[in-house]
Amino acid sequence: MHGRFLSPRGFLLDTNVVIALQKQDRSITRRITPEMALYSYLPSIVLGELFLGAHRSGRMHQNLLDVKSLPRTFPILPCNAGTAEAYGRLYAHLLDKGRPIPENDIWIAAIAHQRGLTLLTRDNHFTYIDFLSVIVW
């Protein structure tokens, strides 16, 4: 586990962690404690990425139902003006370091940073953001 700055406020789930949870991937499910699950949130961007995946899948109907059920388990955090400001700051930081990452991931990181949440992910590139609380599994 790679982790920095564990947040007492809670956790933000990246798309790949949600997919692993849906598939009941033991490498992820065994790491999510009941307390972590209780204080975990989904960024609206992740929900959009999951809807995209569902629409492009061979099991579209079932996958859409699965995605639509997620807000009953995890509260959804939308973007707002504060998120946009954090996005600009994070993107500038990454460009200054010469380490850009996918734009959707910058939005996800911006929500985590704005809300003081620890991001749970399988993507190592989030560690390029020096001041982001992140756990990479």
pLDDT by residue for the chain (137 residues), tens digit each?
444 445 568 999 999 999 999 999 999 999 998 889 899 999 999 999 999 999 999 999 999 999 999 999 999 999 999 999 999 999 999 999 999 999 999 999 999 999 999 999 999 999 999 999 999 99
End-to-end CA distance of the chain: 5
How would you list the strands of the sheet with 2-3, edge to edge?
2-3, 134-136, 118-121, 11-13, 40-43, 76-77
Domain topology for 2-136: Rossmann fold (3.40.50)
Identity of residue 59: R
Please tell me the distance from the alpha carbon of residue 94 to that of residue 128, in angstroms, as a whole number: 7
Let me know if 92 is exposed, middle or buried by CB neighbors in 10 A (0-12, 13-18, 19+). exposed
- pLDDT at position 82: 97
SS3 letters across 40-58: EEEEHHHHHHHHHHHHCCC
Which 3 state secondary structure label does DSSP give 110?
helix
